[in-house]
Amino acid sequence: MKKTNLFLMIFTVFVFIFLYAPMVIMVIFSFNEAKSLGVFTAFSLKWYEKIFTNTEVWVALYNSVWVGAVVTAVSIVLGMMMALAVTRFSFVGKPILDALILIPIIIPEITEALSLLVMYVFLNIPLGPLTVIIGHAAFDVAFVTVVLRARMAGYDRTVEEAARTLGANELQTFFRITLPVMYPAILAAGLLAFTLSFDDLIKTLFTTGPGFKTLPLIVWSSAARGGVSPDLNALSTFAISISLLFAVFRIRAEKKMRGV
């Protein structure tokens, strides 16, 4: 009993090292005075100063945020309707639809990205923010639907019937009962959609137009240009912090969702 506990603990520690060592190294060296990655000479914020005075970074951040916001809104609305459809109504082909929702989650991202590009070219749609948004949303809807569907499956619909017997029409019931009861799940799904969009590189890379860059995109392009560099470490650390923040929000929302 004791032995297995010790073994499990050592094992867990190794897994954590394996998972987080690269990130920790990157974060540490983003505060390194020297340019080299070999030795840590002194603590410095100069790389952060360098990126925060760079307007390209601010524009990219702005782009990432507003694209993320639009994608989140679109995914929530579509995902909600999708989840409602598959949990409340029975129609021909429902099991197929139910399974199809999962496909964007399981196929490789590069395939999604390429297929998007092929479609845009085929339809002759000029690449730019719109195509990025469509690309992100088309796949984030799947994640949102899965989260909301799980919540709805465990949701007792008699509260809606109770509202009906108390004089609420269908619309009032939806806005005063269904939506508020679903709210933690919607929040969790929304934060997930935002994080997915905010972190996305591959789909953005394939579907963006000239001059439209998001945060992951400038990280990638500067890495491609000059290899790893301290200012890139700082930029990535910054991007990770934002994602982390949203992840914390999401976990809290999910906890609340299970609590209700």
What's the closest the beta carbon of residue 252 comes to another protein, in angstroms?
17
255 binds another protein, rule: CB under 8 A: no
Rounded to the nearest 5°, which phi and psi values hold at 87? -95, -20
How many whole angstroms separate alpha carbon 180 and alpha carbon 158?
A: 15
Q: Quote the least distance from Cβ 161 to another protein, whole Å.
A: 5
Of the residues 59, 119, 168, 223, which one makes contact with another protein according to CB under 8 A: 168
Site string for another protein, 182-201 (x = CB under 8 A): -x------------------
Identify residue 69 by its one-letter amino acid code: A
Q: Does 253 bind another protein (CB under 8 A)?
A: no
The three-class DSSP label of residue 32 is strand
Q: Where in 126-165 is the site for another protein (CB under 8 A)? A: 156, 158-159, 161-165
Contacts (Cβ under 8 Å, ≥6 apart) of 206: 113, 114, 116, 117, 135
Which element (helix H / strand E) includes 140? helix 129-153
Q: Which of 12, 41, 111, 172 binds another protein (CB under 8 A)?
A: 172
Among 53, 55, 90, 169, binds another protein (CB under 8 A): 169
Residue 177 as a binder of another protein (CB under 8 A): the answer is yes
CB 212 within 8 A of CB 128: yes
- Cβ 112 vs Cβ 203: under 8 Å: yes
- Total binding residues for another protein by CB under 8 A? 19
The contact mask relative to another protein for 32-71 (x = CB under 8 A, - = no) is: ----------------------------------------
Q: How far is it, in rounded angstroms, from Cα 105 to Cα 112?
A: 10
- The rounded distance, in Å, linking the Cα atoms of 152 and 54 is 45
Residues forming the site for another protein (CB under 8 A):
156, 158-159, 161-169, 172, 176-177, 180-181, 183, 260
